[in-house]
Chain A
Amino acid sequence: MEQGTFEVKVGLAEMLKGGVIMDVTNAEQAQIAEDAGAVAVMALERIPSDIRSDGGIARMSDPIMIKNIQKTVSIPVMAKCRIGHFAEAQILEALEVDFIDESEVLTPADDNNHIYKHDFKIPFVCGARNLGEALRRIGEGAAMIRTKGEAGSGNIVEAVRHMRSIINEINILSTLSQDQLMAQARDFQAPYLLVEQVAKIKKLPVPNFSAGGIATPADASLVMQLGAESVFVGSGIFKSEDPTSRAKAIVDSVTHYRDADKLAIASSGLKSAMKGLDISEIPEDQMLQERGW
């Protein structure tokens, strides 16, 4: 019997495809998420838009809050640690969370190194803006990639940019000849063997999800049609006027992301979405996606 192998970690990521992972800050919200049909919840003390407005250092959540959520729902429970903060990750592993998000939404703990994720039995998800960044994270052991987008903005433009970059770069890579791949690995600053593998299989070797700015059923459909295999919704649900209806509507829109008639139904009669931010309103030093490398 083997546990904590890369195969076993990616296995859970595969099961979460075609679904929605929702940020929740307490057991009540976690129950709303599960009732809506979420495939997992992300337990965190403050959702990204509050982290953004509150300022200060954002850290791993209180274990008591994570445990309460684990007791409440049967779907997988994820939690975030700071970039490079392997001690927080060790604590989350001891709590037996199902997935760890080494997340740029929290304040980075190491400005140079990400966590060596192969050391852990629990799978990790990491954010990426392009293929090189995705492959660096997979090289460190990430079992799932998500776009960074711009968390807490309610603005889909960055997630779209990141998903298009990753998909475009995969497409271009798959047209290169073998003798061009090393130079490409150098330009991507990514492990050669992973570059070679992606060129061959024409997709990431782990599931590729989207996060950062998804606020409506149409947003979810957009990133799914661009190539995302699932979506994370952070502030978009519990910062909206009617979280219960919006949670269900976004789940239904991921299941039927190509069916415009179903999307029209899912989009109908929802109360206000979160207000959101234009990216130009966010000072450059407060752009969360710039965290990590």
Chain B
Amino acid sequence: MVNRAGVLALQGNYNQHKRMLDVLGIKNILVQYPRELENCDLLIIPGGESTAISKQIERNNFRHPILNFAKTNSVFGTCAGMILLSSSEKATNLKPLSIMDFKVDRNAFGRQVDSFSGNLCLEFDNTDSFNGLFIRAPKISKLGKGIKILATYKKQPVMITNGRHFATTFHPEIGDDYRIHKHIMGKINE
């Protein structure tokens, strides 16, 4: 079980992740400075604009602290956060952290007009499907060794783990279904 979660609060939907952790009764802080990682055992990188968050990671000297943190702790990235966790190639204004061995295509479904919600199958909970919200979402284009699929949409992987870190192409922090956060929080330090 997680002791204290940090939510990276440089840009994006960090407050809704915080709200979910609050409801689940999990101690958490919004992380704005690298030193604030010290007392956390999980870092959530939220959705937002991946280029904007990537810029703030570099400008605020977060890159090495996050990479060090990820050696012994867990990171959970959603949408833009997942793009940053990936080992995708660098692009203009975007430097992924290569914390997990997979690649993504950004905005793979198209523009906002192509954003959608759909029913996902969770591998760890088959009681009911999960309403996944895909906002200008990325698609996983390549999965490395040791990556396990935790959720699928139309048989395509949308939530993955390498045992330590977690990533979703959609937004589990939106809405009132807490199962994904609950599952991940339970897996930390297991």
**Which A residues lie at the B interface, using CB under 8 A?**
1-5, 7-8, 11-12, 14-19, 34-35, 37-40, 70, 74-76, 93, 96-99, 121-123, 251-252, 254-256, 259
Contact = CB atoms under 8 A, between A and B. Distances in A.
Contacts of A34: 51, 93
Contacts of A1: 116-118
Interface residues of B, number: 39
Nearest to B48: A15
A39 B49 contact: yes
B152 interface: no
A39 B53 CA distance: 9
A244 to B, nearest CB: 14
B98 interface: no
A280 to B, nearest CB: 36
Given A11-B171, A37-B51, A74-B107, A2 B112 contact: no
Contacts of A96: 110-113
Contacts of A97: 111
Contacts of B113: 3-4, 93, 96, 98, 121-122
A208 B10 CA distance: 18
B150 to A, nearest CB: 20
B1 interface: no
A255 B33 CA distance: 11
B114 interface: yes
A216 B31 CA distance: 25
B interface: dominant SS? loop
Contacts of A16: 48-49
Which of A8, A38, A99, A259 is the most central at the interface, judged by chain B CB atoms within 10 Å of its CB? A8
Given A19-B11, A39-B11, A74 B51 contact: yes
Given A1-B116, A98-B111, A15 B51 contact: no
A2 B49 contact: no
B49 A75 contact: yes
Contacts of A35: 93
B11 A122 contact: no
B14 interface: yes
Interface of B: 9-16, 32, 47-49, 51-52, 55-56, 59-60, 79-80, 91, 93, 106-107, 110-118, 133, 135-136, 171, 174-175
24 contacts: A1-B116, A1-B118, A2-B117, A7-B175, A8-B133, A11-B115, A11-B133, A11-B135, A12-B136, A15-B48, A17-B12, A17-B48, A19-B11, A37-B51, A39-B48, A39-B49, A74-B91, A74-B93, A75-B52, A76-B136, A96-B110, A99-B112, A122-B113, A255-B32
Nearest to B107: A74
Given A2-B118, A37-B52, A15 B47 contact: yes
Contacts of B107: 74
A19 B55 CA distance: 12
A12 B115 contact: yes
Given A15-B135, A39-B49, A255 B10 contact: yes
B49 A15 contact: yes
Nearest to A19: B11
A15 B79 contact: yes
Given A14-B135, A15-B49, A251-B52, 16 more contacts: A2-B117, A7-B133, A14-B13, A14-B16, A15-B12, A15-B48, A15-B79, A15-B135, A18-B9, A37-B52, A74-B91, A96-B113, A98-B136, A252-B59, A255-B32, A259-B32
A232 to B, nearest CB: 15
A92 to B, nearest CB: 11
B111 A15 contact: no
A15 B48 CA distance: 4
B52 A11 contact: no
A8 B48 contact: no
Contact of B116 (A2, A14, A17, A18): A2
A63 B52 CA distance: 26
A18 B117 contact: no
